[in-house]
Amino acid sequence: MTTEGAVDVEQSVGEGSRLRTVGGHAVLIVLSVVCVFPIYWLYATSLRAPGDVYSLSVLPWPLSLEHYADAFAKADILRMLINTTIVAVLTALGQLLVGLLAAYAFAGWKFRFQKLLYLMFVGTWLVPFQVTMMPNYVLLSRLDLLNTLAGVIVPTLCSALGVLMLRQHLLGFPKELLEAARMDGRSSWGILWTVVVPTLRPVLAALGILLAITAWNEYFWPALVLQRSNDVVQLGLRSFMGTEGNDWGPLMATAGLTCLPVFLLYMVLQRHIVNAFVRSGLK
């Protein structure tokens, strides 16, 4: 009797946990569909024949690349992609450099007002973009950098996220390695480039990709700076929006093309990015 009772309890416990697992998965599947569906719809619309743009069928059939051809004909997509790449790469590199130098100082040295400075530095993350937008705009205007790619890049060169993450990694960096390098004859500057940077390469790569993706996806700031041109691809999308209505087909095709490099980058390097973030949290 007792054994049977125990088995019953075990079975009900087993069924309970299985139900919870199934329930959890169901919720996650629904959330995934909600997240993925708009992107699917973007590509589906871009691949429909010109007459089917407003069709509500889930599968785009017959398939057509006409919207892509249309997009390339109406806008200089290649130039926009190159410009966006330049902006994303330079922004990411600049932010990495500033972040690395600041984090090295914050993690490796003790100096007066260190904590306060660090808090102020990281606190810039909490300041909304809308607050700094106008002063930056005025400054760019005075420096005559409006409507230039440099105007898009320069004000964003310092990333509090980069400083925060790199400092976190550097705090966990083996102190003995830095001391060994000091004993071996390197200056602080030398240690940064010959020991710290090579050792942190995976972290720098992951952070760099993240920063590049963020810069790539940026719309609002470039839209403000580049008012008279569509030099980057996010702004290029505007050329398919008109007062008479939106040209949805080429718009979706261009948006789809805009997403592709980011998707590819993330898929190839996903493991590194996740690892770097998990480790920065643990250390």
Which lies closer to another protein via its Cβ, residue 147 or residue 194?
Answer: 194
Tokens of 8: 């019953």
- What is the three-class DSSP state of 63? strand
Among the listed ranges 57-65, 87-95, 180-188, 255-263, the one in contact with another protein (CB under 8 A) is 180-188
Of the residues 21, 187, 246, 270, which one makes contact with another protein according to CB under 8 A: 187
- What is the three-class DSSP state of 82? helix
Which lies closer to another protein via its Cβ, residue 203 or residue 252?
Answer: 203
d(CA 122, CA 116): 10
Residue 51 beta carbon to another protein: minimum distance, rounded to whole angstroms: 58
Which lies closer to another protein via its Cβ, residue 181 or residue 233?
Answer: 181
Among the listed ranges 15-23, 42-50, 169-177, 226-234, the one in contact with another protein (CB under 8 A) is 169-177
Contact 206, 277 (CB under 8 A): yes
Which residue, among 203, 237, 242, 201, has the nearest Cα to 217 in the 3D structure?
237
Which lies closer to another protein via its Cβ, residue 148 or residue 199?
Answer: 199
Which residue, among 145, 143, 158, 160, has the nearest Cα to 224 in the 3D structure?
145
Q: Could you identify the residue written with the tokens 């602080």?
A: 188
> Taking CB under 8 A as the rule, does residue 201 contact another protein?
yes
Tokens of 79: 């130039």
> Taking CB under 8 A as the rule, does residue 184 contact another protein?
yes
Among the listed ranges 21-29, 50-58, 188-196, 245-253, the one in contact with another protein (CB under 8 A) is 188-196
Among the listed ranges 154-162, 196-204, 221-229, 232-240, the one in contact with another protein (CB under 8 A) is 196-204
First to last CA, the chain: 52
Residue 114 beta carbon to another protein: minimum distance, rounded to whole angstroms: 18
> Taking CB under 8 A as the rule, does residue 172 contact another protein?
no
Secondary structure tally for the chain: helices H, strands E: 14, 2
d(CA 54, CA 240): 16
Q: What are phi and psi of 55, to 5 degrees?
A: -65, 145
> Taking CB under 8 A as the rule, does residue 210 contact another protein?
no
> Taking CB under 8 A as the rule, does residue 24 contact another protein?
no
Residues that bind another protein (CB under 8 A): 174, 176-177, 179-187, 190, 194-195, 198-199, 201
